[in-house]
Amino acid sequence: MPTMTEPSAVSAIRSRLAADSDIQLHKRWSPRILTGAAAAVVVLVVGILAYTVIAGGTLHWDVVLQYFFSGEVIKGVGVTLLLTGVSLVGSAILGSVLATMRVSHNVVLKVIASAYVWFFRGTPVLVQVVFWFNLALFLPRIAGWDTNQLITPMTAALLALLLNVSAFMCEVIRGGLLSVDPGQVEAALSIGMTPRQSLLRIVMPQAIRVILPAAGNLAIDLLKATSLVYVIGTRELLGTVQSISSQTFYVIEMLIVASLWYLLLVSVASFLQARLEAHFGRGAGRQALSRRERLRRRAIAHTEEKVI
Amino acid sequence: MTAPAVDGVADVPVVSLRGVRKNFGDLQVLDGIDLDVHAGEAAFVIGPSGSGKSTMLRCVNSLETYQGGQIWVGDYLVGAERKGDRWVEAAPKVTAARRADIGMVFQRFNLFPMMTALDNVVSGMRMVGGVRKQAAERRGMELLDRVGLSARAGFYPSQLSGGQQQRVAIARAIAANPRLVLFDEPTSALDPELVGEVLDVMRDLTREGMTMMVVTHEIAFALEVADSVYFIDHGVVVESGPPSQVIRDPQHARTREFLTRVRNDPHEEP
């Protein structure tokens, strides 16, 4: 209700409002018109581009479809997945070893792991791919073996990708280990766990929550980075479509085939990553409880409040 | 100073510190600590922030190493093993087994966030003690009932208040029937209205005759339930004895000064 101290104009409006109990609020049109105009412009630009490509371009979508499921391309996809899978598993192992070295108290282990990360993270992966392929140029024999026999396009690609990704994986794992409160280790030790038990049963399950999203991104980057090794003649997905297009001259079509496959693989990887993250999210405060469990807990909380 | 005798077996202390020294670099944290805790005794350790009292407590179960003197728990020397006629550093497995027989309650609770309250309580029994799931969970529920939280067994720590978390942590610490429980400022991280429920649980433990070492700023609580009180400053025991003496009638100026300060500001932060 209006008080005597209020300015008369304000109290006049208020008394009028009180009289009309239902207020009709009118829309403001100017921002809606502006965003609507912007949307129209964007649709126009996209439309023109799409029309130019579809009407004016000479894309053979039948060729895309034909090669998308061809045995040769499927084989290339297989090699891409093999390169990704082996590098990922290998880097999880080597990365864990390196991360353990970096967080250890031994200076020598620390320095060696840090130098590894510094080198392999600091040079382009393409340079590393070409380097391993040409290893024989300065190291003709390795432990009695002919280097040229050991280093095939496949082994050079695997070596380069695995060693490179391990450096990144080391940092991802180390970040995960450091993210766990040191109090967790102390609590684990205080109930009688050995340091190894506390690492495996208490620290790792918590670190994995920090590691998984970053490792997932790394895996997706790796999946796409495998395309780099086509420069040394590895017949993975990109290498395969490149060789097809050099024979058929369907250059753009074959790039579209490769792109669609990469998009498909990355989509599947993203889905798997989301599932894994949900699985390891227990106790983080956002775990999904069943409706029944939620209601039960609310009832408990309610009765406890009453007692207190 | 001798602590009150319990049952006449009190002659062999559960914990015995003799001239314990520790330094972090140039900083002398413990400068010759002498202290005895007998079976069934609740020994309270008070003192200013940075006086070394938490460090001393952590030395007792090897969360810290010490550089001089001796810490005995029952019949073993903390951090060492007898090999023939020499002392060698205790193996990690030996240290772990010794820790399993000492409970510890931390300032920041340190519950395992990916486990429910019940799983936290039984974690030691299951992962260290090798107790079967069913038996462990039965005992776990008993322990949760003792701290008034059996209805919260399936809750994760993030769904519990600070006071509830600390009560679960106490249940976890006493799950293996340890010979000794260490409390490292158990109420310092709690909102004032939640302190009482944790102190209630601790009071019950002292009544049941649990051997305890408690580092705390809760002077009134120490006066109420402690069997002995040690005032530590600058890494040495300045004054010790029954609470009625150390807290009610302190003999040293430093003790008096500290007690006046803490009474004016009971929640002095470490």
Give residue limits of the domains in chain A: 67-283
Is a pLDDT exceeding 50 seen at residue A277? yes
What radius of gyration do chain B's Cα atoms show?
Answer: 18
Q: How many CB atoms lie within 10 A of CB B88?
A: 10
Is a pLDDT exceeding 90 seen at residue B223? yes
Q: What is the mean pLDDT of residues A226-231?
A: 94
Q: What is the mean pLDDT of residues A116-128?
A: 95
Helices within A52-197 (DSSP H only): 61-68, 71-103, 107-122, 125-133, 147-150, 153-179, 182-190, 195-197
Q: Which of B116, B123, B156 sits opposite A191 (nearest CB)?
A: B123
Report which of B237, B263, B243, B239 is spatially closest to residue B252, judged by C-alpha positions.
B239
Q: How far is CA A46 from CA A61, A154, B252, in A?
A: 20, 41, 85
Report which of B249, B255, B205 is spatially closest to residue B230, judged by C-alpha positions.
B255
pLDDT at A246 (0 to 100)? 92
pLDDT at B29 (0 to 100)? 94
Confidence of residue A2 (pLDDT cuts 50, 70, 90): very low
Cβ neighbours of A206 in B, within 8 Å: 113-114
Structure tokens at A284: 């983080």
pLDDT at B266 (0 to 100)? 53
Q: How many CB atoms lie within 10 A of CB A173?
A: 27
pLDDT at A57 (0 to 100)? 74
For chain B, how many helices (H) and strands (E)?
A: 9, 12
Contacts of B52 (CB under 8 A, 6+ apart): B22, B29, B30, B31, B33, B232, B234, B235
- Regarding predicted confidence, which is higher, A37 or B262? A37
Is a pLDDT exceeding 90 seen at residue A136? no
pLDDT at B51 (0 to 100)? 87
Dihedral through CA B21, CA B25, CA B27, CA B28, nearest 10? Answer: 10
Q: What is the mean pLDDT of residues B240-266?
A: 89
Confidence of residue A182 (pLDDT cuts 50, 70, 90): very high
| Contact call for A181 and B110, based on CB within 8 A | yes
Confidence of residue B3 (pLDDT cuts 50, 70, 90): very low
Contact residues of A toward B, CB < 8 A: 181, 183-184, 186-197, 201-202, 205-206, 282-285, 287, 293, 297, 300, 304
Q: What is the mean pLDDT of residues A55-68?
A: 85
B157 shares contact with chain A (CB less than 8 Å): yes
Residues 198 to 237 of B: which have CB under 8 A from any A CB? none
CATH architecture of structural domain A67-283:
Orthogonal Bundle (1.10)
pLDDT digits (tens, 9 = 90+) for A195-222: 999 999 999 999 998 999 999 999 999 9
Reduce the DSSP state of residue A209 to 3 states and report it.
Answer: helix
Q: What is the mean pLDDT of residues A13-33?
A: 77
Mean pLDDT of chain B: 92
Is a pLDDT exceeding 60 seen at residue B270? no
Q: What is the mean pLDDT of residues A247-272?
A: 94
pLDDT digits (tens, 9 = 90+) for A150-164: 888 999 999 999 999
Report which of B93, B89, B72, B71 is spatially closest to residue B80, judged by C-alpha positions.
B89
Residue B46 CA neighbour count, 13 Å, CB half: 33
Report which of A204, A209, A180 is spatially closest to residue A278, judged by C-alpha positions.
A209
Element holding B26 (H helix, E strand): none
Cβ neighbours of A282 in B, within 8 Å: 114, 156
Confidence of residue A107 (pLDDT cuts 50, 70, 90): very high
| Contact call for B110 and A186, based on CB within 8 A | yes
Is a pLDDT exceeding 90 seen at residue A188? yes
pLDDT at A131 (0 to 100)? 93
Q: What is the mean pLDDT of residues B31-45?
A: 96
Region of A211 please: left (phi>0), alpha (psi -120 to 50) or beta.
alpha
Reduce the DSSP state of residue B235 to 3 states and report it.
Answer: coil
Is a pLDDT exceeding 60 seen at residue A133? yes
pLDDT digits (tens, 9 = 90+) for B112-142: 999 999 999 999 999 999 899 999 999 999 9
Element holding B70 (H helix, E strand): strand B68-73
Is a pLDDT exceeding 60 seen at residue B8? no
B113 close to B156: Cβ distance less than 8 angstroms? yes
pLDDT at B87 (0 to 100)? 94
Mean pLDDT of chain A: 87
pLDDT at A52 (0 to 100)? 86
ipTM: 0.91
B247 close to B229: Cβ distance less than 8 angstroms? yes
Q: What is the mean pLDDT of residues B253-262?
A: 92
Is a pLDDT exceeding 90 seen at residue A297? no
Domains of chain B: 15-101+178-264 (3.40.50.300)
- Give the integer Cα–Cα distance in Å for A150 and A160: 14
Confidence of residue A299 (pLDDT cuts 50, 70, 90): low
pLDDT at A61 (0 to 100)? 85
pLDDT at A142 (0 to 100)? 82
For B191, counting Cβ atoms within 10 Å of its Cβ (0-12 exposed, 13-18 middle, 19+ buried), the class is exposed
B45 close to B232: Cβ distance less than 8 angstroms? yes
Please give the interface size between A and B, counted as residue pairs whose CB atoms are below 8 Å apart.
88
Q: Which of B101, B113, B128 sits opposite A206 (nearest CB)?
A: B113
| Contact call for B156 and A192, based on CB within 8 A | no
pLDDT digits (tens, 9 = 90+) for B155-210: 999 999 999 999 999 999 999 999 999 999 999 999 999 999 999 999 999 999 99
Is a pLDDT exceeding 50 seen at residue A287? no
Q: Could you tell me whether strands B27-37 and B15-24 are parallel, antiparallel, or unpaired per DSSP bridges?
A: antiparallel
Distance to chain A for B110, nearest Cα, Å: 6
pLDDT at B267 (0 to 100)? 54
pLDDT at A145 (0 to 100)? 80
